Amino acid sequence: MAAPPMASLLFSVFSLVFLGEGRAFPTGAPQAPGKCRLEGTWVNELGSRMSISALDEEGRFSGSYLTGVSASQNPIRTSGLSGAQQQGPQPTFSFTVQWSFSDSTTAFVGQCFVTESGEETLETTWLLREAAPSHAQDWKATRVGKNTFLRLK
């Protein structure tokens, strides 16, 4: 015997709302990510290594950066960095590196994330500006890129 039309409609609504058309719903509340901290030593996919000091009460920090790659003909040396971060569990941040071995500066912006497995990563985008020998060559003086840093344990 066929179900009355109203009962069929109610079962369909119940199925969509509570059963999700056969999809499994998570049983617990989503886990909030842990707090990501910038201070410490980080390495990126190119082998560049940076160390970030403890943050002051306004979120400012300093540190050092040893790049794993360079277009300069000069020997690579460790360079200073300085920056600031916003507050929050997965903060945004920015810092600049004034390269000690070339006539260039790099500005980084990014965000510190904690993965579901508890690993901290820094996702960054950077602009590198090298000195142009003339105004006519200004067009090729800025590069842009992305790097992911992992905490060195």
Helix (H) or strand (E) holding 136: none
- CA 8, CA 144: separation in Å to the nearest integer? 59
| Residue 127 clears pLDDT 50, i.e. is over it | yes
User: Pairing state of beta strands 40-44 and 60-66?
Assistant: unpaired
DSSP readout, 3-51?
A: PPHHHHHHHHHHIIIIIGGGPPPPSSPPPPPPPP---EEEEETT--EEE
Residue 22's pLDDT is 44
In this structure, which long-range contacts are made by residues 128-133, counting pairs with CB atoms below 8 Å and at least 24 apart in sequence? 128/104, 129/104, 129/105, 130/71, 130/102, 130/103, 130/104, 131/103, 131/104
pLDDT value of position 115: 87
Q: Are 63 and 81 in contact (CB under 8 A)?
A: yes
* pTM attached to this predicted model: 0.75
Q: What is the pLDDT of residue 26?
A: 43
92-98 vs 104-114, strand pairing mode: antiparallel
What pLDDT, in 10s, does the model give residues 1-41?
A: 555 554 444 444 444 444 444 444 444 444 555 788 899 99
Confidence of residue 84 (pLDDT cuts 50, 70, 90): very high
Give CATH for domain 40-151. 2.40.128.30
Interval 128-153 mean pLDDT: 95
Q: Where are the domains of the chain?
A: 40-151
